[in-house]
Amino acid sequence: MTKKTVCLLTALLAGAFAVGAAAYSPKGASAESSYSEIVMEAESGRVLYENDSDKVMPMASTTKVLTALIIVEDCDLSDVFEIPAEACGIEGSSIYLVAGEKLKISDLLYGLMLRSGNDCAEALAIYHSKSVAAFAEVMNERAKKLGAMHSHFVNPHGLPAENHYTTARDLCTIACAAMRNPSFKEIVSTQKVVVQDGGNGNRVLVNKNKMLYQFDGANGVKTGYTKIAGRCLVSGAERGGMQLVSVVLNCHPMYERSAEILEQCFAKYSLVSLFEPKEMTLPTEVKGKSCRVEAKEGFSYPLAEGELSKVQILFDLPEQVKLPVKCGDALGEMQILLENQLLFSQKIVSIENVKKSFIDILRDIANN
């Protein structure tokens, strides 16, 4: 195998870039502005900014991001669920569910994410796992699977409880995964919806998240507040195809601070297409015979000015492909690196069957 290194040239890419490199500290970032905060690009998970983001803290109703993600991933949103008595009369924010009424799971999700309904959270937990305690176990398993290793959940809504905590980094990791889910993204970006129930009249649900009305490109995700957690906000915004997610925990001016750090990250980073799906032709061990191969996946990444020249694309391919080859066989690999850090890799596979002919076999015998 021979390795070919291709340095990506600025001329290959279009787009404007601003200043910055690694995660930076925007103007005004301090413990006084927010105890804990972070901004990530949702697809790659790259941290664009952070401030004390690994501090373990309560997170109030931003808990519901994980609750909603589990439901949209695991459940049929068209299912109809009869509300149990134990999901009614939950303290705090509510859509005032009534025992025995029947709602679609999708409508309960709107109640959960637009109005922060704690009753919706308990109803969805019971629907999914038969009990709140069992659902909390699922939450903890799912959080760890997503890479949120410093969080623990004991309920689906975020009301104060011992051992219910997260970090800004963990919560943003969860929210990035959620914003990659089209159903979740549609729900949290909705400003207003009418929920039709089974007998108690329609509910008009208006999203509490002021970012949707005030910030250019805002498309989610969840507010939160308790006296213990303070004001918490998970925000999502998309511009130029780049989806950012921010988290601020225990930050009184949560909307203003979220807007500030998101705005500065949009100014300093752009989403760049570093690789498009590509077909190539490789020589084989048989003279005059070739094999078509493909790198199937494209890859984009948020970059700041000055980083483009530090990107490398590496191809590891054979000088000659040994036959026979079947369609789908992996024949090599490509990698994308930024300052020697691996960002992306994929196998390069054959897209055709290639074998030696009878004459090729006779030639091999004669040559040997």
The whole-model pTM stands at 0.87
Hunting for tokens 């494209």 — which residue is that?
298
199 pLDDT more than 90: no
Per-residue pLDDT of 19-62, as tens digits, reads: 333 453 444 443 344 479 999 999 999 999 999 999 999 999 99
As a whole number of angstroms, the longest Cα–Cα distance in the chain is 87
% the chain with pLDDT above 90: 83
Q: 36-268: what fold?
A: Beta-lactamase (3.40.710)
Domain range annotation of the chain: 2-14+274-367, 36-268
SS3 211: helix
Per-residue pLDDT of 256-295, as tens digits, reads: 999 999 999 999 999 999 999 999 999 998 888 899 999 9
pLDDT at 364: 62
> Mean pLDDT score of the chain, rounded to an integer?
90
d(C-alpha 1, C-alpha 293), whole Å: 16
pLDDT at 358: 56
Supply φ then ψ for residue 356, to 5 degrees: -75, 140
- Tell me which residues are annotated as active site: 61, 64, 116
Supply φ then ψ for residue 181, to 5 degrees: -95, 120
Per-residue pLDDT of 237-267, as tens digits, reads: 999 999 999 999 999 999 999 999 999 999 9
Helices (H), the chain: 64-74, 105-114, 118-129, 132-145, 168-179, 182-188, 211-214, 254-268, 358-367
Per-residue pLDDT of 316-335, as tens digits, reads: 999 999 999 999 999 999 99
Per-residue pLDDT of 83-131, as tens digits, reads: 999 999 999 999 999 999 999 999 999 999 999 999 999 999 999 999 9
204 pLDDT more than 90: yes
Residue 310, classified by CB atoms within 10 Å of its CB into exposed (0-12), middle (13-18) or buried (19+), is middle
Q: What is the CATH number of domain 2-14+274-367?
A: 2.60.410.10
Closest listed residue to residue 244, CA positions, set 34, 46, 27, 13: 46
